[in-house]
Amino acid sequence: MTDFDAKAHVAHMEAVMGLALAPEWRATVEAHVATTARMAALVADFPLPDEVEPAAVYEAGR
């Protein structure tokens, strides 16, 4: 994963979405976005062979 700047991303998305984060929540939102990016990198960086096919249907609990 390339370097991800959670602070810059939150500021950008705040402007794009027309939101106004309360100052006391900014650090918490940035921390959650950074954590989400790290979790996504684990999935995106997982090596899979080219032959792998996605499941046709996902059914929870079976």
Where are the chain's structural domains? 6-44
Q: Give phi and psi for 55, each to the nearest 5.
A: -65, 145
pLDDT at 35: 97
pLDDT at 55: 78
Query: What are the tokens at 7?
Result: 């602070």
Q: What is the pTM of this model?
A: 0.74
Long-range contacts from 9-17, C-beta under 8 angstroms, 24+ separation: 9/33, 9/37
Q: CB neighbours of 7 closer than 8 A, spacing ≥ 6?
A: 30
pLDDT at 24: 97
pLDDT at 26: 97
34: exposed, middle or buried (C-beta count within 10 Å: 0-12, 13-18, 19+)?
A: middle
pLDDT at 62: 65
Give the mean pLDDT per block of 10 residues along the chain (62 residues): 88 96 96 96 93 85 75
* DSSP code of residue 56: S
pLDDT at 51: 93
